[in-house]
């Protein structure tokens, strides 16, 4: 493990003004995205769409790295150039999603556990050869009247820590993603409790497995109200409670947080990120507070593209615009009224 390289890569991923594009949709997810614009999810269409995003001129001013799916990291663009090389030539760092999705947790059918640890060491070594420099693994925590349980949290935290340790062994920066789902009508206070409990266990497991904190990133949910809550907290409250929660459990040694969007509407998640970054300097938050968004960055360009070659320019403008607005929120200078694409 080259500790210095891990630290440098982690810091580069949360460089000033920049965040990460999550383009690691599974085959099923990308099909649903394409279905929404009446485009068939063929390999050619998937390559064309992602290559369009990756080649967008100037977007590396706002996007530091891109998380890829297993299929994507192996593909070439229209002119035969590997998509990984297109990314690096355009100033972005390639990463790879390495988990294999969730299944019901034995003994706790209302909770999920993420699979993919079997054979992971060999897969990581292959991804290094394919050009990856960082990894991502998603654990899923659901809030309900009976969940999460300590058992469910501990199983997911243990898997996240094992993934992180194996990634660093291979020379890859792990992005540890314990997602607290927004589904439900729970209050922001309940979200705070679950987030604190989850992150406390995650960092206990990371410590036990000797993960280098300076060479990893955290991809958490913001502390928000449930998506169907009667009264949802405003961005200022989200910022206050998110940073308060992190101060309790998130070591200062971790260089950065790259928030997930978690299905929040574009304006909502961007406004929340903006409020967090406006508050952070005033409370001496020690971490870079950035983003790792998928749908929030891709919704507008996907709709503009609609699978048509003649729409590529409009789609890249839409992507550049969303990336620039998200970068503004990452700096605390986002203005909602200017956000229309």
Dihedral angle of Cα 149, 154, 156, 159, to the nearest 10 degrees: -170
Q: Say how far apart CA 324 and CA 191 lie, in whole Å.
A: 29
Q: Say how far apart CA 325 and CA 341 lie, in whole Å.
A: 10
Length of the chain: 341
Catalytic residue at 219? Answer: yes
**119 contacts: CB under 8 Å, gap ≥ 6:** none
Given the residues 25, 219, 240, 264, select the one marked as catalytic. Answer: 219
Given the residues 25, 51, 111, 177, select the one marked as catalytic. Answer: 177
**337 contacts: CB under 8 Å, gap ≥ 6:** none
Please tell me whether residue 21 adopts helix, strand or coil conformation.
strand
Catalytic residue at 177? Answer: yes
Find out whether 80 and 29 touch, Cβ atoms under 8 Å.
Answer: no
C-alpha closest to that of 329 among 268, 274, 258: 274
Q: Say how far apart CA 257 and CA 196 lie, in whole Å.
A: 15
Instruction: List the beta strands (DSSP E) in the chain.
Output: 19-23, 63-68, 93-97, 102-105, 108-114, 134-141, 173-180, 217-218, 256-259, 288-293
Q: Say how far apart CA 333 and CA 71 lie, in whole Å.
A: 36
Q: Say how far apart CA 276 and CA 285 lie, in whole Å.
A: 10
Q: Say how far apart CA 306 and CA 76 lie, in whole Å.
A: 21
> Any long-range contacts for 24-31 (C-beta under 8 Å, 24+ apart)?
24/67, 24/68, 24/69, 24/72, 24/96, 24/97, 24/136, 24/294, 25/69, 25/294, 26/69, 26/101, 27/69, 27/71, 30/69
Active site residues: 177, 219
């Amino acid at each position: 493990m080259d500790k210095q390289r891990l630290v440098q890569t982690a810091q580069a991923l949360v460089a000033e003004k920049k965040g990460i594009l999550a383009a690691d949709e599974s085959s099923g997810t990308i099909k649903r995205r394409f279905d929404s614009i009446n485009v068939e999810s063929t390999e050619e269409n998937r390559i064309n769409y992602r290559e369009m995003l990756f080649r967008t001129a100037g977007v590396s001013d706002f996007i530091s790295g891109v998380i890829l799916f297993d299929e994507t990291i192996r593909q070439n663009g229209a002119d035969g150039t590997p998509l990984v090389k297109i990314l690096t030539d355009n100033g972005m760092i390639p990463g790879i999603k390495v988990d294999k999705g969730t299944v019901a947790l034995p003994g706790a059918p209302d909770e999920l556990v993420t699979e993919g640890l079997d054979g992971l060491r060999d897969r990581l070594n292959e991804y290094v050869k394919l050009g990856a420099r960082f990894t991502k693994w998603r654990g899923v925590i659901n809030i309900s009247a009976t969940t999460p349980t300590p058992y469910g949290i501990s199983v997911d935290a243990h898997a996240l820590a094992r993934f992180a340790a194996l990634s660093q062994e291979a020379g890859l920066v792990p992005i540890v993603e314990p997602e607290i789902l927004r589904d439900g009508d729970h209050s922001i206070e309940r979200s705070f409790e679950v987030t604190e409990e989850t992150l406390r266990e995650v960092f206990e497991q990371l410590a036990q497995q000797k993960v280098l904190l300076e060479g990893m990133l955290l991809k958490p949910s913001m502390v928000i109200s449930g998506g169907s809550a009667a009264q949802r907290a405003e961005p200022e409250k989200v910022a206050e409670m998110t940073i308060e929660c992190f101060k309790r459990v998130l070591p200062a040694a971790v260089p950065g947080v790259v928030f997930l969007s978690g299905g929040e509407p574009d304006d909502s998640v961007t406004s929340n990120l903006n409020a967090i970054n406006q508050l952070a300097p005033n409370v001496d938050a020690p971490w870079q507070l950035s983003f790792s968004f998928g749908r929030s960055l891709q919704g507008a360009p996907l709709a503009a593209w609609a699978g048509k070659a003649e729409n590529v320019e409009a789609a890249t403008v839409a992507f550049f615009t969303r990336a620039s607005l998200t970068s503004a929120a990452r700096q605390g200078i986002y203005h909602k009224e200017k956000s229309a694409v």
